[in-house]
Amino acid sequence: MKVFRTIILIAHLGIFILLSGMLLNAYVPPKVFPWFNLLSLGFPVLMTGYVLLTVFWLFSWKKRAFVFMLLGLLFTNPVKRWINFSADKKEAANLKIVSLNAKGGIFGLKNIKDYIDGSDADIVFLQEHGGKDYQFKNLKNVKFDAIVAIFSKYTILNQKELIDSDYETNNAYASQTDVELKGKKYRFINIYLQPFKFEKAMVKLNGDSEQDEQKLKDVVKRLIPTFKMHQEQVEIIRKAIDESPYPVFLIGDFNSVPNSYEYYHLGKDMNDVFMESGTGSSTSFHDYKFPLRIDYVFTSKSIQSVSYKVDRSVKISDHYPVIATFSLKD
């Protein structure tokens, strides 16, 4: 029994070290050391293992359980970025936005149109819209290419491309749009960071040790270069946020999970609206049987959020729509 507990202790310490390494994404860029960013992908599994082992020590009546519980407090915010419980806000919402990676409309353009029309959103953000001619009720269409688009009820003052896709090596895109709302100007940045371009067959293990090992190697070969591309894209977007003369909404498909380098640096000095106003799970990508949150809404701290919802009642894409409401002061 002593040997078994020693093995469990070593495993528990190992998981703690890996989780701590993930926190270094706030400081270490992928071009310097990309492996910390890799850890963020495994956070749900690592954290689940950490909690289960802590429970094991509790039932074993070991004092080390309280040490691991105390150390586990370091991961409170990382957990809340995946699962959160917010109290209902008293403020009345006067702005509603919807963000959706439309997957090129392959789940049905009419399904997307019916959903958006029924949402009564003030501003809609699409990623991977596929260049389709979306026409939504009471919304004006402003789009740049086949990757991101914005539809608004309000006056659009100007637009600018931040990242332009070349469709060969770079499939990322980002745009900024200045909108006048309630007599004030706001900047909306709609982004789609470089995708990893995985297919299910690439990541599904089949029990053959040699094939599975090769698949894992191939996955890492895709992840590391993409992390480094993300670093360059984050720098461009971060510059636009920092230099904005107006409060900023940062919205879109980051192709990155919480606690990643992308999350920390794009969300620096901003509010993650899910953490401010969301309840339940933040998982937004449902094509794999693994919890993945890659769709986000961030805002400047001066903007008051009221609610945040991942709408799992519909499957109009391989992403669930994200709905957020805000209380903007006149």
Q: What is the CA radius of gyration of the chain?
A: 21
Whole-number Å distance between alpha carbons of 194 and 170: 7
Cα 71 → chain centroid: 26
What integer pLDDT is reported at residue 63 of this predicted model?
85
Percent of the chain with pLDDT over 90: 68
Asked, for residue 296, whether it belongs to a domain, the answer is: yes
- Confidence check: pLDDT of 191 > 60: yes
Residue 200: pLDDT band with limits 50, 70, 90? low
Residue 236: pLDDT band with limits 50, 70, 90? very high
What integer pLDDT is reported at residue 144 of this predicted model?
57
Count CB-CB contacts under 10 A for residue 121. Answer: 25
Q: Which of 80, 113, 128 is the last residue of a domain?
A: 80
3-state secondary structure of 280: strand
Average pLDDT on 223-242 reads 95
- Confidence check: pLDDT of 133 > 60: yes
What integer pLDDT is reported at residue 72 of this predicted model?
95
Q: Which of 22, 46, 80 is the last residue of a domain?
A: 80
Q: Which residues pair with 186 in a beta bridge?
A: 179
Asked, for residue 141, whether it belongs to a domain, the answer is: yes
Asked, for residue 172, whether it belongs to a domain, the answer is: yes
- Confidence check: pLDDT of 229 > 70: yes
Whole-number Å distance between alpha carbons of 42 and 173: 26
Looking at the fold, whether 72 and 99 belong to one and the same domain comes out as: no
What integer pLDDT is reported at residue 34 of this predicted model?
92
- Confidence check: pLDDT of 205 > 80: no
- In this predicted structure, which of 44-58, 210-224, 254-268 has the lowest mean pLDDT? 210-224
Quote the domain boundaries for residue 279. 92-327
CATH number for the domain spanning 112: value is: 3.60.10.10
Give the alpha-carbon dihedral of 49, 275, 29, 171, to 10 degrees.
Answer: 100
Whole-number Å distance between alpha carbons of 221 and 213: 12
Total domains in the chain come to 2
- In this predicted structure, which of 40-49, 133-142, 304-313 has the lowest mean pLDDT? 133-142
Whole-number Å distance between alpha carbons of 276 and 80: 10
Asked, for residue 167, whether it belongs to a domain, the answer is: yes
Is beta strand 248-253 parallel, antiparallel or unpaired with respect to 184-192? parallel
Asked, for residue 57, whether it belongs to a domain, the answer is: yes
Looking at the fold, whether 61 and 208 belong to one and the same domain comes out as: no
- In this predicted structure, which of 25-39, 80-94, 137-151 has the lowest mean pLDDT? 137-151
- Confidence check: pLDDT of 73 > 90: yes
What integer pLDDT is reported at residue 145 of this predicted model?
64
Average pLDDT on 119-129 reads 94
- In this predicted structure, which of 224-233, 256-265, 283-292 has the lowest mean pLDDT? 283-292
Q: Which of 80, 111, 127 is the last residue of a domain?
A: 80
Looking at the fold, whether 168 and 39 belong to one and the same domain comes out as: no
Q: Which two tokens stand for residue 321?
A: 């729509």
